[in-house]
Chains A and B, each alone.
Chain A
Amino acid sequence: MPADVAIVGYGRTPYSRAKPGERVYTVDEYIAWAADLALQKAGMSKNDFNDQGLGVAHAEAAHTVNWSASVAETLGISPQVLIRADQGGASASAMLIRATALIRAGIIDRALIVGADTPLSIPSAAPGLPLSPERTRGPYWDFQGPFGVMGATAQFALVQMRYQHQFKLASEQLGKIAVTTRHHASLNPEAIYRKPITMQEYLDSRVLSDPIRLLDCVPIVNGGLAYIVTSAKTARTLTTKPVYLKGFGEANNYYHGSRTLPDVTTTGFAKAAPQALAMAGVKHTDIDFFEPYDDYPFVVMMTIEDWGFCRKGEGGRFVEERNLRFDGDFPLSTDGGQLSGGQPGGAIGGFMPLIEVVTQLRGEAGARQVRNAAIGASCGFGGIPYGRPGRSCVSLIFGAEA
């Protein structure tokens, strides 16, 4: 793909665990805050997006009618095009693909893409259970909630248990992902959990839903993120460090096998990643660092396999054999990921891998900077279909050079 679009700015607000006494920001406030940071980084103003594009990720807490238009009104921006994504953790990545198509078609020159959520401040059925109204209606809920399914942790535990039945996977292999990403979080002042953990602490953490442990689970936070994408031509007038989109691939509602009795151990990345690699014209070995959607270490391991970094069933061994640190031979989740960084709702956490790739390729990652980072890959992974993993899978490949 020609390097004709680039990211020129990004922003990530501080995250909050909404502890008693803390100022609780609204989704609107987080969106404006993240957009402000991205605009400052790009040297732009909100008015540069009048008659251009505004992308808004779905927010569970806000969930009003005409959500994207309502955000435009709140921000005082009058865009020509509204891009709205409701693909959960794939939303941020999917909106980049939509914006790219619009820019290439000459309809717009640039887009501001925003997302925020406050899952810890949703009126809930019980404390600590962010059961928003939209999660608890329709046949999807009616045939899970009353049956005793305990959310994402149980849903992924079922997939992991099946995987472990078909393939070899050791707890220490997943533990290595959790321990390494926590190390990266310790180097990232913006991460929520920064105190290093040991393998023994991982193995000793209590099992919530066999085989998933507490330290396998993503901590939920309130927060917002944003990025700005423009034509490459405009990008070069704004910054000396545009980050070019080199390739993308997307798979929605992917089935491995039949629709009624699929094999759940392969995700849509098996389809999306080869598309992205072919479009970018790069090989796996050209990718300097990898930013998966990491709500569970097991999801990271499956993502690595389905991208084709190793064969199906060998992800555990791959993780064991490679050095996953930012200064290793397979740098992984270099910002600490969502696992230690925090997840501002399932929908907004998907901005984090994309923004970390941009941060790295601009050389702005500080103590966790991957040396000579030239090509990076990130993932969007969103929604949990009934009995399977991952409704939407998006693979993105970026480069520091056009």
Chain B
Amino acid sequence: MLTSKTTNKPLPEITDQTRPFWTAAKSRKLVLQRCARCDTFNFHPKPWCVECGCRDLAWTEAKPTGTVYSFTISRAVAMNLPGWQGELPVLMCLIDLDDGARLYGQVVHCMPEEIKIGMRVEILFEDISEEAAIPKFRPAK
């Protein structure tokens, strides 16, 4: 497992398969694999489209907005690295992107008592290493 020495948080193992996602995130763009045959946005990265099995997946920019499908407020670090301790409580959500993929994402700039299912959110990015950034979300303006 790769970890960040400065933050003591986990880092992704970047492969040729996943590099476009991390690189795009560094430049503040959310890209997902879009299926050439059925237009499905796949996430996380897959070797073929999980809906139709087509291997022709093109990294495509997705709308940076979505809706909270569900949330939890993590109040303790579990099965992750101690670096998250400083960010507790972590508002971890499942976000349904407007382009139709669902992903885990932390909502920030939001009080725990304000988070709600159905809340509209927009993306912001956080650099986690020289090569990678992750999408996070905040309440939409």
Contact = CB atoms under 8 A, between A and B. Distances in A.
B11 A146 contact: yes
Contacts of B117: 161-162, 165
A140 interface: yes
B82 A126 contact: yes
Contact of B45 (A137, A139, A165, A260): A139
Contact of A260 (B9, B17, B50): B50
Contact of A259 (B9, B50, B81, B104): B50
Contacts of B100: 260-261
Interface string A117-142: 00000000110011101011111111
A159 B70 contact: yes
Contacts of A170: none
Contact of A146 (B9, B50, B90, B112): B9
A129 B82 CA distance: 9
Contact of A151 (B11, B69, B78, B134): B78
Contacts of A299: none
Interface string A221-263: 0000000000000000000000000000000000000111100
Interface string B32-46: 000000001111110
Contacts of A145: 1, 10, 12, 80-81
Given A144-B104, A148-B90, A159-B70, A136 B44 contact: no
B96 A150 contact: no
Contact of A158 (B92, B112, B132): B92
Given A145-B10, A261-B102, A386-B44, A150 B18 contact: no
B87 A148 contact: yes
A139 B44 contact: yes
A258 B76 CA distance: 32
Interface string A151-190: 1111001110110010000000000000000000000000
B13 A142 contact: yes
A387 B73 contact: no
B73 A209 contact: yes
- Range of interface residues on chain A? 35 or more
B102 A260 contact: yes
A260 B40 CA distance: 8
A150 B77 contact: yes
Interface string A187-212: 00000000000000000001111111
Nearest to B132: A146
B70 A150 contact: no
Contacts of A158: 70-72, 92-94
Contacts of B18: 139, 142
B20 interface: no
Nearest to B3: A125
Contacts of B59: none
Contacts of B76: 150, 208-209
Contact of B79 (A133, A151, A165): A151
Interface of A: 125-126, 129-131, 133, 135-154, 157-159, 161-162, 165, 206-212, 258-261, 264, 386-387
Given A144-B104, A157-B72, A208-B75, 9 more contacts: A129-B77, A129-B79, A143-B43, A143-B103, A148-B87, A148-B104, A154-B72, A209-B74, A209-B92
14 contacts: A129-B77, A131-B79, A136-B1, A145-B12, A146-B12, A149-B92, A151-B78, A154-B78, A158-B92, A161-B117, A208-B76, A209-B76, A210-B73, A210-B75
